[in-house]
Amino acid sequence: MRHTRPASTPAAMSELNQSRIVHSLHADGISSRADIARKLNLTAPAVGKLVGRLIDAGIVSETGEMTSGGHGRSIGLKLNAKRYQVIGVKFARSLVQIAVFDIGGHLLSMEELPPVADENVEDCVEEVRGRIRGLLDEDPSIVAIGMAVPGPYLREEGRIAVVTSMQGWRGINFIKEFGKAFRVPTFIEQDARAGAMAESLFDSRIAGSSLAYYLVGEGVGLGVIDQGNPVDGNLGAATEIGHVSIDMNGTACECGNRGCLECYCSAVAIHTLMGRTNQGDHFPGLAAMTHKEACDLLFTMARQGDRTSMALLDQVADYVGYGCVTIVNAYNPAQIIIGDLVAQAGQPLLDRVKSLVSARALPQVRDHTEILLSDLPADATLTGAAAVAANQFLEHPSSLGGMG
C-alpha cells in the first residue's frame, strides 16, 4: 500500500480519514467507533460523522453490541467486504487467469484461458477484454479491475521491457488496451509487487510493514514493501531479481545479460532442465506439457521418491535459495514469501532454501528474516491483481464506492 500524501483541503482530509477507517476495519475486523478513534487518533465526533457517511454508502454496517477496549459496551462496525467486488487478471506469459474477488480477498470465481503462444498474444488481449466485459455486465457490484503483468513493467509507458521466452507481450501497451476499456477503473501493477500487496492485505501471518514476495513461476520476480510502501524505482521497474546475474559467464538471457537467476529456477527453466535429463522418457509426455504441467510432474515424482526428480528439485531449490540470499542482503525484509508455480514443490523446497540462506546470507540479517511459502487460498499473483484494485477501493472509498 502506498501512503497517502497529506490532505490539503477539508474534502481531501475527509477522504483520507474515510480511507483510514476502511483500512482499519479491513485489517482488524469488527471494531467500535471508540476503538477506531483511539487507533487513528481522531475525535469521537469526527469518527461518528465519517462512519455515518460510510454506513449510508453501504461500505460499513453496524453489527450490534460489543465490548470495546474495557470501556463498556459499544456498537460494532464491520466492512461490507462481500458487497463490493473486484476483478483480478494475471498475465504470466503462456498463462492468463481472470478471477472475481470480494474486497476482503475471498475468491468467488476463476477462469483460465487456453495457453497463450507468441503468435496469438493480440488475440488473447481481445479475449480478456471480452470476458471482463461479460463479467461486468453480469455483476454491477464490481467496482474495479486489477491486472498483474510480468516485470520489468514500465509504469508510465504501459509496456513490459522484456519477457523472456515470450517476446510477443512486449508489443502490448497495457494502458492503451485496458486503461479506459471498461465501465470501472483499471489498475495495472508488476506481478510480484501485486503479490506483495496481496500478502500484506490478505495473509494473516504477515506481521509488520516490511516484506518481500518472491515470485518463482514462468518468470522470476520480486515485490518489496518497505515501511508500508512498495519499492517502485524510477520507472516502476525496481527489484527485478529475475534479471540479477548469478553467473557472469552463465546462460545467455534474452534481456542481454548472462547468468540471470530466471534462467535457472523459473518454470520455463525447469521444463528445459527436465528435457535435458529426459533419457529413456523418464518424464512421460514431457514435450507436450505446459510449463505448469511439467513442474507439477516433477514435484509429484520427487514426493514419490524418484531420485532423478529429487536431484533436479534440489538443484532448482538451491537457485531459489541464492535468490533469497540476495533478497536478505539487499532489502532486509522481515519476511520473504515464496509463491507461484515453483512454490508448489512445498516443504522440501523451503527446507533446502532455508539451509542455503543459513549458510550464505549475512548472519546478523538472516537471523531476523522469516522465510515462508505463500499460504493464500488462491495464487498470490492472481490475488495480488485483485489486491491492486481492492487497495484502490480502500484508499478511495468515496470514488469507487458510489458515495457522493
Which three-class secondary structure state does DSSP give residue 289?
coil
In this prediction, residue 308 carries a pLDDT of: 96
Peptide bond preceding 152: is omega within 30 degrees of 0, i.e. cis? Answer: yes
Q: Rounded to two decimals, what is the model's pTM? A: 0.84
- The 10s digit of each residue's pLDDT in 114-154 is 999 989 999 999 999 999 999 999 999 999 999 999 989 99
pLDDT above 50: residue 403? no
In this prediction, residue 400 carries a pLDDT of: 63
Q: How far is CA 367 from CA 213, 271, 327, 329, 379, in A?
A: 18, 34, 13, 12, 28
In this prediction, residue 70 carries a pLDDT of: 55
Residue 337 grid cell = 514469501
- The 10s digit of each residue's pLDDT in 291-306 is 999 999 999 999 999 9
pLDDT above 90: residue 247? yes
Which three-class secondary structure state does DSSP give residue 110?
strand
How many other CB atoms are there within 10 angstroms of residue 3's CB atom?
9
Give the residue, 233 or 4, on which the prediction is more confident. 233
* Max Cα-Cα span within the chain: 75
Which three-class secondary structure state does DSSP give residue 76?
strand
Q: How far apart are CA 93 and CA 160, in angstroms?
A: 11
Q: How far apart are CA 374 and CA 350, in angstroms?
A: 11
The percentage of the chain sitting over the pLDDT mark of 70, rounded to a whole number, equals 95
Q: How far apart are CA 258 and CA 386, in angstroms?
A: 34
Which three-class secondary structure state does DSSP give residue 217?
coil
Q: How far apart are CA 391 and CA 322, in angstroms?
A: 32
The percentage of the chain sitting over the pLDDT mark of 90, rounded to a whole number, equals 63
Q: How far apart are CA 394 and CA 195, in angstroms?
A: 17
Q: How far apart are CA 399 and CA 282, in angstroms?
A: 56
Cell 496469438, located at residue: 120
Mean pLDDT of 86-92: 94
Residue 135 grid cell = 463479467
DSSP 3-state helix, strand, coil percentages of the chain (rounded to 5)? Answer: 45, 20, 35
Domains of the chain: 13-82 (1.10.10.10), 84-196+380-400 (3.30.420.40), 207-373 (3.30.420.40)
Instruction: Give strand pairing partners of 145.
Output: 87, 186
Quickly list DSSP for 169-194. Answer: GGG--HHHHHTTSSSS-EEEEEHHHH
pLDDT above 80: residue 193? yes
In this prediction, residue 280 carries a pLDDT of: 77
